[in-house]
Amino acid sequence: MPNAPLRRTKRSKPWLLLLIQLALAAGVACLSAYGFLHMQDHAVTFMPLSARVDVAPEGRLGAPSAASRAMVISGREIPASSPSIVTYRDAVARAAPTVVTVHSAHTAKAAIPLAPMAVVNGLGSGVILDRNGYIVTNYHVVEDATALAVVLADGTTHLASLAGVDAQSDIALLKIEAIDLQPIELADINDVAVGDVVLALGNPLGVGQTVTQGIVSAVVRKGANPVENFIQTDAAINPGNSGGALVDTAGRLIGINTLILSHSGGSEGIGFAIPVDYVRTIAAILKTKGRVARAWLGISTGTPAVGNGALVVSVEHEGPADRAGITPGDVIVAIGERSVEHPQDLRGVVIGAEPGTRVPIELTRNGKRAIVEVELAPLPAAQTSR
């Protein structure tokens, strides 16, 4: 029966087809299940929280709740309704109550003989230094004033008197009788650097207390007087800002705004402030003596390459330092009982010191320490007139 195997083959074909179809169906089902599970896992890991769906009490799908409308960034949940903003409101809140407006009255000669004297009103700004009513401003704000008044940030007006002036540094110290004054916090000048964000507070052009923002553009800018480390800023400073505060983003005083460089008379982004350490020194002397004596040491200094102190760069011939044996390359580390951390610390010696005073100076030379005594001399006329 030669055809028997062929018939068996024909009879078994439907069963083979059925087995193949079942196998294919099972494979498709497995792949579908795997894809479904993979999609669910992917959605749980990367789906924004704003895509969460709430279930209504009736069991129906509802809209996302307000609490669920958020994003996940770096593992933190940030509500979409709370955008991040940059603000200096805290710094302003700390500094603004300490900045005042200074009104000054000046009498001027009349153009016509025997005519009444004319009264010229001036306007500037000032900063409260302590609770006892001492206020620092610029000397040119109060120069030759016959009457002075201070308007505090709360709008109250107080008559002011001069506690002392120093024309050479363009600093004046006023005194008012008031209670509950808020003094400004002083910053460390050594923490001030180019690029720092700063705020200028004052009363520009008489429009009322105003805050402008900029950065520290440069430091150690020579000005029109012996303050040789002006802070330069591009914060808008205009007439009326003189004597106002330049503060950091913590609301701490870093300088007193004093002048602008301008071709038009308005702000061109080049303003200068007297640094806070200098202001503090002058104000302390004016408070106790009413004037600022100045002596001469006869050296120029810089920052040493290693360590603290003041590197002696040059020595004036036959000056006080020269006569005491100080030479270029020496590093001054102490004067009297005060250590010298930075070159500007030397200002405390010559500013306020009477000529003829003898001061011990500790220095290092070639790695060895030495102490010399210097007799301070009067400030040369060329420097006094600057």
Residues identified as active-site: 140, 170, 242
Task: Return the HEC string of 101-170.
Answer: EEEEEEEECCCCCCCCCEEEEEEEEEEECCCCCEEEECHHHHCCCCEEEEECCCCCEEEEEEEEEECCCC
Two structure tokens written together for 90: 């805290």
Two structure tokens written together for 76: 């933190």
Number of H helices, E strands in the chain: 7, 22
The dihedrals phi and psi of 252, each to the nearest 5 degrees, come to: -95, 145
Task: State how far the Cα of 339 lies from the Cα of 331, in Å rounded to an integer.
Answer: 12
258 burial (CB, 10 Å; 0-12 / 13-18 / 19+) is buried
Two structure tokens written together for 99: 């900045």
The dihedrals phi and psi of 363, each to the nearest 5 degrees, come to: -140, 165
Task: State how far the Cα of 102 lies from the Cα of 258, in Å rounded to an integer.
Answer: 14
